[in-house]
Amino acid sequence: MPNRNVSTEVWNDPKFTDDFTAEDKYFWLFLLTSKYGNLSGCFEITYKQIARDMGYSKETAQNLIYRFAEVHRMITYDNDTNELLIHNWYKYNWTKSPKMETVIYKFINKVKSNFLRNMLIEMYENYKSGDRVSIGYQYPSNTNTIPNTKPIPITIIDNKEKELKEVIKHIVDYFNKKVGTKYRYTTKAINDGISARLKEGFTIEDCIKVIDVKYDDWIDDKEMVKHLNLVTLFRPSNFEKYLNQKGKKNRYKSLEDNDW
């Protein structure tokens, strides 16, 4: 069993001391010292495993993953493969030695998620070259392919428009999962509507809330359910009104609280 030391400098980090709740600190220390981890900083771990090891409910584990991915933006989690990537792991655990490269790529080639694997490749190739490693606001892809050889590095994703596309895709995927539809995030009317709301300053949490509230409001209404689509929800004359609408009691539940 490998030993993992956590620097006491963590207690001098303003984010850790000022922004984290006690629960956040416990969860962060758990991730840094978890038995599931490895040298790459990307490992497979389920909500149930987190709940069991930390003594929490599965719902609390889900909320912690969501908080660290969406609020603190310190991890990326792929719900399809149950894999988690710690963004700043490389700063304290990697070196530029040839031996390290062999070990890093050994772990990278075991990553099931194409999205997380490519992030790791980007991070390590830029780390070796001395370039700044950039981790944007990103979301997982749906894939279970495991490469047999060293993957080809891709360009680091730090372009705002590329990041925006990932956010839009996440929102559309969420809607499709919730409602049981097959909308494409590349459809112009859908892309334009969501993009416009995000550029106005609304957050991804706002978008998820609107979807949840109107789903809860319309899903059982034969007349209104036909309006449950992304174009209607993200229309400028509707969005803010829906955002400030309260969901129906005892029925409002976000997919962000489930295995999604």
* pLDDT value of residue 248: 62
Judge whether 148 lies within some domain.
no
* Whether 180 and 87 share a structural domain: no
Expressed as residue numbers, the domain containing 201 is: 160-257
What does the pLDDT profile of the chain (260 residues) look like in tens digits?
566 666 677 787 777 888 888 999 999 999 988 899 999 999 999 999 999 999 999 889 998 998 888 888 889 998 889 999 998 888 778 888 888 888 888 999 999 988 888 888 888 888 887 765 544 433 333 333 333 333 322 222 334 566 788 889 889 999 999 999 999 988 999 999 999 998 888 888 889 999 999 999 999 988 899 999 999 999 999 999 999 987 664 444 444 444 43
Alpha-carbon distance of 249 to 227, in angstroms, equals 21
Judge whether 2 lies within some domain.
no
* pLDDT value of residue 125: 84
Q: What is the dihedral of CA 22, 24, 27, 31, to 10 degrees?
A: -130
* Whether 79 and 172 share a structural domain: no
* pLDDT value of residue 241: 94
* Helix/strand/coil for 20: coil
Among the listed residues 2, 74, 75, the one whose alpha carbon sits nearest the alpha carbon of residue 39? 2
* Whether 56 and 107 share a structural domain: yes
* pLDDT value of residue 16: 81
Judge whether 239 lies within some domain.
yes
Which one-letter amino acid corresponds to residue 203? Answer: T
* Whether 25 and 120 share a structural domain: yes
Residue 157 CB partners (closer than 8 Å, separation 6+): 122, 134, 136, 138, 163, 166
Q: What predicted TM-score, i.e. pTM, was given to this entire model?
A: 0.51
Among the listed residues 55, 56, 30, the one whose alpha carbon sits nearest the alpha carbon of residue 43? 30
Instruction: Count structural domains, the chain.
Output: 2
* Whether 13 and 81 share a structural domain: yes
* Whether 176 and 123 share a structural domain: no
* Whether 38 and 98 share a structural domain: yes
Residue 165 CB partners (closer than 8 Å, separation 6+): 185
Q: Where are the alpha helices (DSSP H) in the chain?
A: 14, 22-33, 47-54, 58-66, 89-93, 98-108, 114-129, 160-179, 188-199, 204-218, 230-233, 239-243
* Whether 69 and 171 share a structural domain: no
Alpha-carbon distance of 181 to 229, in angstroms, equals 9
* pLDDT value of residue 204: 86
Judge whether 135 lies within some domain.
no
Work out the widest C-alpha separation in the chain, in whole angstroms.
64
Q: What is the CATH classification number for the domain harbouring 55?
A: 1.10.10.10
* Whether 173 and 113 share a structural domain: no
